[in-house]
Copies of this chain bind each other. A is one copy, B any other.
């Protein structure tokens, strides 16, 4: 029916704009990408973007969500035996987003939409990290006594801040491994 046909077309057009935005945001950064340049890459007038998206921030959120989604899908297809490997993999996921991590933190202070998205993102990330920590500790089983929930509470924060910091400060592979190994060694020693 016509209703359905239209909906499909709309999604296709949205996807085209998102493709261009993803490409430009990841290669040139958010601030360096103007709506005009984005429209030109998508082959439409600048203001047409506003018929499909609320504003530039909304575009950014969808780009970030899409990129993270793709990365998480790849995770299932991989074998990352150790916790150190899994943390290092997370760093590469964030690195793919290039300067977007710094952009999120800067824009979260002025944009309510990006701020709430950022909060949700960290809530999800924290759950994943605490799960990884528990799994790692259970596999080791060489500690007496096991750390309490209270003691583990700060772990996902320290880890996510470390991951963001490594990406933002562009550490080398060697330095990253050193940091991740220290993080895991410190968890074991807790």
Where the two chains meet, the residues of A that have a C-beta atom closer than 8 Å to any C-beta of B are 29, 31-32, 99, 102-103, 105-106, 108-110, 122, 151, 153-155, 157-158, 160-162, 164-166, 168-169, 171, 175, 178-179, 181-183, 185-187, 189-190
Q: How near does chain B come to A83, taking the closest CB pair, in angstroms?
A: 15
A109 to B101, CA, bound (A): 11
Identify whether the interface residues of A are mostly helix, strand, loop, or mixed: helix
Q: How far is the CB of A129 from chain B (nearest CB, A)?
A: 13
Given A102-B102, A165-B165, 11 new contacts (CB under 8 A) = A31-B106, A31-B110, A105-B106, A106-B106, A157-B162, A157-B171, A158-B158, A158-B179, A161-B169, A185-B190, A189-B190
The 6 A-B residue pairs with the shortest CB-CB distance, nearest first, are: A161-B165, A189-B189, A186-B186, A154-B182, A102-B105, A106-B106
Inter-chain CA distance A171–B151, complex, in Å, is: 17
Query: Nearest-CB distance from A24 to chain B (Å)?
Result: 14
Q: Write out the residue numbers on chain B whose beta carbons fall within 8 Å of the beta carbon of A187.
A: 186
